[in-house]
Amino acid sequence: MPATIQTAVVGATGYAGFELARLLARHPRAKKAVLFTRTGEASATAQLDELYPHVSGNGGYPLEPFRWETLRAKGVDVLFLATPHEVSREWAPEALAHGVHVIDLSGAWRLENPEYRAIYKFHDKEPALAEKTAAQAVYGIPELHRDELTNAALVANAGCYATSIILALAPLVRAKLVDLDHGIVCDSKSGVSGAGKQPTQKTHFVEVAENLSAYSVFNHRHTGEILEQLGLQPEQLTFTPHLLPIPRGILSTIYVRLASAMQPAAVEECMREFYAGSPCVRLFSAGKLPQIQYSLHTNYCDIGFTLAPDGRRLVIVSCLDNLVKGAAGQAVQNMNVMFGWDEEEGLR
């Protein structure tokens, strides 16, 4: 358990990467992070605060183009990849070969099942190396994989939607209280930063404002993660993401049928037991529901539920900030677990 470590971030100019740079800057056990742009990228500037004046006046966030020599010279212990999945797929094995821990925020290493992976269309130059790397990856939700994360070499930080859904369902599904064959409906709504910083028609203010839209019905990339982590079959999950006219935040409304009728107190008890010792999940009392606002700019996943009078139909609502618990904050939480520190270090 080292007292302090040296971190580095590739892709600090994107929304999740920037959030990560900010979190690391105030983490008591992280030395000043090395912030890399990807080689030759258009937005490369000398200082992060030229792109994000939000952080000016806080001592400087110099950016430098990525080079392996720099990584070695600075003695980097953990490399965070806030990069497109195809970049992560290529760089993670190389970083591991350099003896550096990797926490990857993309979808590159989250999936085991090749059928689920197909949606990403990976084109690995060295397939064998890729497979070997994949085998090392630990799925990055500490509440579910705390032990494997300790000393892990490669963490596949969980997807934002996936985190909100998996955390809401894991206690009841693992306790076999859910009628899986009935099917689970996950109706999720996300703020726009989840779509990334690249301007597109879809993220144009005029297209998003005063609007709500469903997209990627039955074919969103996060589906595979949810299935694998919860041990579900594809037909058991219907997941519909929606784009909300807000910058950040996710709310998932989740519909399950319980295997047999329960009392609200028993549902709550099941969740409380599961998350005892998990400080980043906040459980609401039966019948009380979280709202997106409550968890913004925090690393909490908030979970509440309402049970129908029949004791069978259960509506679970979970909320989180897609850039924090859904990305950068969870990455830091994973790092904390990896090095044996307090799970909330630098996240309160």
Is 223 exposed, middle or buried (CB count within 10 Å of its CB: 0-12, 13-18, 19+)?
Answer: buried
Identity of the residue, 133 or 164, whose beta carbon is nearer to a copy of itself in the bound complex: 164
What is the CB neighbour count within 10 angstroms for residue 151?
12
Site for a copy of itself in 217-246 (CB under 8 A): 217-218, 235, 238, 240, 242, 244-246
For 147, 149, 187, 258, the CA distances from 32, given in Å and listed in that order, are: 27, 23, 39, 48
One-letter amino acid for residue 5 of the chain: I
Residues 163-182 that bind a copy of itself (CB under 8 A): 182
**Rounded distance, CA 307 to CA 27, Å?**
40
Q: Does 136 bind a copy of itself (CB under 8 A)?
A: no
Interface residue with a copy of itself, options 228, 264, 282, 286 (CB under 8 A):
282
Q: Using CB under 8 A, which of 213, 263, 277, 342 touches a copy of itself?
A: 213
Task: Kindly indicate which of the ranges 109-117, 147-155, 156-164, 250-258 contains the residues binding a copy of itself, using the contact rule CB under 8 A.
Answer: 250-258
Binding to a copy of itself by residue 276, rule CB under 8 A? no
What x-and-dash track marks residues 23-52 binding a copy of itself by CB under 8 A? ---x--------------------------
Q: Does 154 bind a copy of itself (CB under 8 A)?
A: no
Note if 160 is an active site residue.
Answer: yes
**What b/e sequence results for 240-270 when a residue is b if at least 16 CB atoms lie within 10 Å of its CB, and e otherwise?**
bbbbbebebbbbbbbebbbbeebeeeebbeb
Shortest distance (Å) from residue 159 CB to a copy of itself? 19
Contacts to a copy of itself from residues 291-320, by CB under 8 A: 291-298, 300, 302, 306, 308-310, 312-313, 315, 317
Amino acid at 208: V
Nearest-angstrom CA–CA distance, 6 and 27:
11
- Nearer to a copy of itself by C-beta: 6 or 13? 13
Q: Taking CB under 8 A as the rule, does residue 187 contact a copy of itself?
A: yes
Q: How many residues bind a copy of itself (CB under 8 A)?
A: 71
Q: Does 74 bind a copy of itself (CB under 8 A)?
A: no
Annotated catalytic residue, options 160, 186, 280, 319: 160
Does 185 sit near a copy of itself (CB under 8 A)?
yes
Specify burial of residue 339 (Cβ count, 10 A radius: 0-12, 13-18, 19+). Answer: buried
The amino acid that residue 33 corresponds to is A
Question: What is the C-alpha separation between 281 and 128, in angstroms, rounded?
Answer: 38
Q: Which is nearer to a copy of itself, 136 or 298 (CB)?
A: 298
* Burial status of residue 138 (CB atoms within 10 A of its CB: 0-12, 13-18, 19 or more): buried
Nearer to a copy of itself, 316 or 338 (CB): 316
- Alpha-carbon distances, residue 269 vs 21, 58, 261, 291, 309 (angstroms): 37, 44, 15, 21, 18
Active site residues: 160
